[in-house]
Amino acid sequence: MQCGSLKASLGTSLPCKASRARVSTRSRVTRVTQAVADLQKAVPFLPTADHLAKWSNTSWRNFTALQQPEYPDQEELEKACAEIASYPPLVFAGECRTLQERLAQAATGEAFILQGGDCAEAFSQFNANRIRDLFRLILQMSVVMMFGGGVPIVKLGRLAGQFAKPRSANMEEKDGVSLPSYRGDIINGPEFTAEARTPAPWRLVKAYNQSAATLNLLRGFSTGGYAGLDRVTKWNLDFMANSEEGKAYTDLARRVDEAIAFMQACGLDMNSSVMKETEFYVSHECLLMGYEEALTREDSTSGLWYGCSGHMLWCGERTRQLDNAHVEYLRGIGNPIGVKVSDKMDPGQLVALIATLNPENTPGRLAVIVRMGATKLREKLPVLIEAVAAAGQVVAWVCDPVHGNTEEVKGYKTRRFENVKAEVEAFFDVHEQCNSVPGGIHLEMTGDNVTECIGGGACVSELDLSSRYHTHCDPRLNAEQALEMAFYVASRLRQRRDRIQKELESKGKVVMLY
């Protein structure tokens, strides 16, 4: 029987074999076209983009690379980098694309970035408990901000790669002896001896291995049930149980539990990934170029190159020159990236830098991380915001309130909590005045019970600095101070949400905000 007669006998419009083939082909083409369109939205640019014509994963070598150590044995350095290049990537391109989507939401106020962790990771302090405690603190802070502020929180650790540190001087002098400055455990040791301060290539491989182990543990915590919202009351750090911040968190956690119980009664699936898992990303400063090149890999899905040492990489204040190696490298990789900006930044230079790093103006590609100090921020940030807005550029504005507030007290580098909070307050105030979006906060902090920053509810005094001062580099907020900051940020996010809601209602619009 012919196809036509079969359709007639059945009284249906059953397609013949040839018709079905054409429909199937059109369906496949449609699916492929949609997949390509989805991929184009998820990447910052295509591999055919004009600005990539002269870029490669090694083109940075044609530019001046600042803040690089002077290795005495170049052959050993090349061997170490070749060994790392043969290892698996630490992160994957698909994870970076998902992070870009989340940062795009932060740029428009639909989410908020929480980026935090050690000033510099140390080999000697590497253990599972410290990683767990920092992860737990970030979870606590995100719950406070999310529940109090009513927005999703993008969780970014300064972790699994934050080893290298820029230095203001190449050499350090003590008692008439001059040695190379300590640049982080990935390069040399903190001990003031000639042997420890000599840059050693084997440290690169050790940093890779520590990062891989850290990421393995973080992925287990994120997806294995530890980060489930049904455990929110169990995240409190033991030493914080009797502190004011610990008690405030416990009270909030009970309210979250009550809300979850209500939703469960309404039919919420407690075993869903939303309830049992969380997204967690890692980031670090893109500083040590040989290490970054060794972990730069081509993605088979998009055709782009990604820096697979971390999900997000940022360019520091000392290395953000347009004609230098770090910007050359970062402009070509597909990762979300950040750039640190101080009060020294000229508005025109910032616009040019953004155009170089995000040539397609893709939302979620770039975060501008401002570090100025409260007084200078109120003066300088509005001009930068206005310049970027006038250029039509889309960025996520992030506040780094620690690096502009470092001082020396009784021989210790420290920060005063009230100064750190004042800069966060100024950050939110300026964005409210400019009608722009405060997109996130970037903190040097630890889950440890340290006494490195003065003040806050933890009541750390100048005399306490010597008690538990454990950092190898810059002072960090301890867990109590960091959680106190989270409660303040949550209050500002709530104020912003309520203000926008009232403005919309006054215009006759009823919109439910996050």
- Residues 91 and 333: their CA atoms lie apart, in Å, by 14
Nearest CA to 326 among 123, 105, 68? Answer: 68
Contact 190, 125 (CB under 8 A): no
Q: Is 328 labelled as part of a ligand binding site?
A: no
- Residues 320 and 354: their CA atoms lie apart, in Å, by 11
DSSP secondary structure string, 157-206? EE-SS------S-SEEEETTEEEEPP--TTT--SSSSHHHHS--THHHHH
- Residues 279 and 107: their CA atoms lie apart, in Å, by 18
Looking at residue 405, the DSSP 8-state letter turns out to be: G
**Residue 306 identity:** Y
Contact 282, 218 (CB under 8 A): yes
Contact 195, 179 (CB under 8 A): no
What 3-state class would DSSP assign to 444?
Answer: strand
Q: Is 434 labelled as part of a ligand binding site?
A: no
Pairing, β 177-180 against β 171-174: antiparallel
Contact 336, 364 (CB under 8 A): yes
Tell the burial category of 171 from Cβ atoms under 10 Å away from its Cβ (0-12, 13-18, 19+).
exposed
- Residues 365 and 44: their CA atoms lie apart, in Å, by 6
Pure H helices in 180-276: 194-197, 202-223, 244-265, 273-276
Q: Is 255 labelled as part of a ligand binding site?
A: no
Q: Is 371 labelled as part of a ligand binding site?
A: yes
Tokens 């040539």 -> residue = 359
Nearest CA to 165 among 287, 2, 265? Answer: 287
- C-beta atoms surrounding 162 within 10 Å: 24
Q: Is 97 labelled as part of a ligand binding site?
A: no
Strand boundaries in 105-152, DSSP class E: 112-117
Q: Is 50 labelled as part of a ligand binding site?
A: no
Backbone angles phi, psi at 296, to 5 degrees: -90, 120
Looking at residue 415, the DSSP 8-state letter turns out to be: E
Number of helices (H), then strands (E), belonging to the chain: the values are: 15, 14
- Residues 393 and 364: their CA atoms lie apart, in Å, by 11
List of long-range contacts for 406-413, beta carbons under 8 Å, 24+ apart: 406/474, 406/475, 409/454, 409/462, 409/465, 410/462, 410/465, 410/466, 412/452, 412/465, 412/466, 412/469, 412/475, 413/474, 413/475
Q: Is 230 labelled as part of a ligand binding site?
A: no
Which tokens in the block code for residue 355?
A: 């155009």
Q: Is 119 labelled as part of a ligand binding site?
A: yes
Q: Is 403 labelled as part of a ligand binding site?
A: yes
What residues are designated binding site for phosphoenolpyruvate? Answer: 158, 317-318, 340, 371
What residues are designated binding site? Answer: 119, 158, 317-318, 340, 371, 403, 444, 474
What residues are designated binding site for Mn(2+)? Answer: 119, 403, 444, 474
